[in-house]
Amino acid sequence: FPELDVSTPTVGEKLNHKHNHYRQMLDNILAGYCLPEPYHLMRLRDVIDRFMSSLRDPSLPLLELQEVIASISGRIPLSVEKKIRKLMTLYERNITSVLAQFPSQQIASVIDSHAATLQKRADRDNFFLTTQGIVQLVQRYRNGIRGRMKTAVHELLRQYYEVESQFQLGHYDKCVTAIRDKHKDDMAAVTATIFSHNQVAKKNMLVTMLIDHLWSNEPGLTDELSTTLNELTSLNKSEHSRVALRARQVLIAAHQPAYE
């Protein structure tokens, strides 16, 4: 069992650490590690609101990048670090502007440009290995803060679907047998899947709340996530009906023309 940390992050904690904490709590719920009621429902709404709020905050990518840079400072050329820090400063200066865009492409260009000057393959490989954390971060934000939010929600919905889609074959025992056959050499995966499914009712709350939050606060994203939501509508067991119905309702509403 993972150690369940259900505490609220301290007020002085940085936003990126709070964000990671909320994401871990949601991942734990989807893995089946849920609080008993009435605590689960009370906690869930707050965690989803805080998680989505942290994703909207323009300072999140800056704080994440500052942490990565601090961990590799001195191991990358000073010229590269200076150029990246300059881009970070420019972004921080304009962070309150609605036009402010996290400089993902520019940071990636700094890394690629320096790599192109390295003659030895070993030097290039070492440089890319050292800057891997930066590259992964800028890829996460390559479509801006909104793109990062879309990816995060997609990952959570997929976690739910990947487990619950394995319980569509009819009787529960038949589903378990199919899961065991699929993971013959990995009983830990079998156990984790069954353990997660046992909390399907509480996971349903998470998914429906997440979809509702999207529809209320980011209606445009529901259209962009239509493929993921369509997968949820394909779940045909009664225990998934609440999620399938909510996904279908939101998809229909997203495609209705706006009133003039």
Task: Quote the Cα angle for 39-45-46, to 5°.
Answer: 90
Q: What is the pLDDT along the chain (260 residues), one digit of tens a residue?
A: 555 555 555 545 899 999 999 999 999 999 999 999 888 998 999 999 999 999 999 999 999 999 999 999 989 999 999 999 999 999 999 998 878 899 999 999 999 999 999 999 999 999 999 999 999 999 999 999 999 999 999 999 999 999 999 999 889 999 999 999 999 999 999 999 999 999 999 999 999 999 999 899 888 888 889 999 999 999 999 999 999 999 999 999 887 765 54
Cα–Cα distance for residue pair 42/29, rounded to 1 Å: 14
Please list, in sequence order, all residues whose beta carbon lies within 8 angstroms of the beta carbon of residue 205, skipping any fewer than 6 positions away. 40, 41, 44
In this prediction the pTM is: 0.87
User: What torsion, rounded to 10 degrees, do the Cα atoms 74, 80, 81, 86 define?
Assistant: 170
Q: What is the CA radius of gyration of the chain?
A: 21
